[in-house]
A and B are shown apart, each in its own frame.
Chain A
Amino acid sequence: MIRVQEAPFDAGAEQQALLAGRTDIGAVVSFTGLVRDFNETPEVTALTLEHYPGMTESALAGIVDEARERWPLDGATVIHRIGRLAPGDPIVLVVVASAHRRAAFEACDFIMDYLKTRAPFWKKEHATGGDYWVSERESDQKDARRWQQ
């Protein structure tokens, strides 16, 4: 399930929904990303998330499809928030279920790496020193390239 929304999400409820009625799932891995109060500058007071409606959803669906081709998954949920967020707010949730833990761990890691480098989201940070758009990180690109070897 893919969702792009302004509202907060409940990671526990989303995980339960993914597992509901299933007894064949042996592992579920959940990742929640949070807004930090420091990034390119200290004292980040808020964050505004912009996306490209339509393309964002299809890009996320494409990433999940690729994960399903690489690992035997029993379910996957990706929720990404948009709009204005405060430090400490949850921003992204990835939940992956599989029969065995290795597939769930790796698929969750893969989805986050690809989401950060391929899904059309942009962060603007509001800090005490002013507003600025976050620039891409080479470390994120390097992380994503791990899956191409």
Chain B
Amino acid sequence: MSLTHLNARGEAHMVDVADKPESRREATASGRIRMKPETLALLAEGGLPKGDVLATARIAGIQAAKRTHELIPLCHALALSKVAIDFRLDEAASCVDVTATCRLNGRTGVEMEALTAVSVACLTLYDMCKAVDKGMEIDAIRLETKTGGKSGDYRREAGEGGSEADEAASPIVTGQGHGGQVSLGSRCDIATPCIRVKCLAELRERLGVGDISVPLDSLTSADVAGLKAALKAQDPRFSRLDEGRVLCAVNQVMAGDATPITNEDEVAFFPPVTGG
């Protein structure tokens, strides 16, 4: 099994899942936070200075699942249909067990979302309780089950564990827009200033990408040449932009390497035209 997020040169890239069928995806992850028995008692009684600890951590986990794409570099925004966070107070072990379940119908798994939800719920529990207990420990954050998708279902075996991830991370949805699929590129999908890049016709097919957002601050110079350099640094396939005749338009007007570009500009690369 290979790492799907690495290309042949070992560099990070987004996996194109355009041709994968949609299926119902669900993942459950778990983790726990160990604390002093007194802290757990205060938490159970609602006696902590920051108020309702579990309700706050639950909302934090749900919010985190929805924002996984902002945290994990090769994840894209997914329209999750369900995020559920549960807590179990274990007085014997003096810890809180956290589980998160995420679900959607789509082409990519949701285990990163479930793991992110658990992680942030645990961090929020720490934040809510740290006034009385700085020695708390977060551990055993892990995937419990995963269903749907080509790689098949996964269920953690009893005793299986440690840091050995036996599953490759699930592919990421890219911006190829077809029915019902997550589509990026019609606007900047990242919060920072960015350039919307379109690759058209044969160039799109050869690169395997139609729409991509490029952060403005990744450009060495604020012009088309700087954008090309940023794209090539991101993925060597973009060296095609220098092969043969590739034309460029900025905001739908023909442009050259020296044409300046700025935030929210639409830059299209395409082969020589062949209409008529």
Contacts and interface: CB of A to CB of B under 8 A. Distances in A.
A75 interface: no
A55 B273 contact: no
Contact of A122 (B198, B202, B245): B202
B114 to A, nearest CB: 38
A134 B274 contact: yes
B276 interface: yes
A123 B202 CA distance: 9
B276 A122 contact: no
Interface stretch (B3-11, B101-109, B264-272): B264-272
Contact of A117 (B202, B249, B271, B273): B273
B270 A133 contact: no
A19 B143 CA distance: 71
A49 interface: yes
Contact of B270 (A91, A118, A120): A120
Contacts of A33: 276
Given A52-B270, A133-B202, A136-B245, A123 B252 contact: no
B73 interface: no
Contacts of B202: 122, 124, 133
A90 to B, nearest CB: 12
Nearest to B276: A116
A58 B252 contact: yes
Contacts of A121: 273-276
Contacts of A51: 275
Contacts, number: 69
A107 interface: no
B200 interface: yes
Residue of B245, B253, B275 with most partner-chain A CB within 10 A: B275
A6 interface: no
A58 B254 CA distance: 11
Contacts of A118: 273
Nearest to A51: B275
Contacts of B276: 33, 80, 91-92, 112, 115-116, 119, 121, 140
A122 B252 contact: no
A66 interface: no
B272 A136 contact: yes
A54 interface: yes
A52 B275 contact: no
B6 to A, nearest CB: 29
Contacts of A122: 200-202, 270-271, 273-275
Residue of B245, B253, B274 with most partner-chain A CB within 10 A: B274
Contact of B275 (A54, A55, A115): A115
Nearest to A57: B252
Given A50-B200, A55-B252, A58-B252, A92 B275 contact: yes
10 contacts: A80-B276, A92-B275, A92-B276, A115-B276, A116-B273, A119-B276, A122-B270, A133-B201, A133-B271, A136-B272
Given A122-B201, A122-B275, A133-B271, 6 more contacts: A58-B252, A80-B276, A112-B276, A119-B276, A121-B276, A122-B202
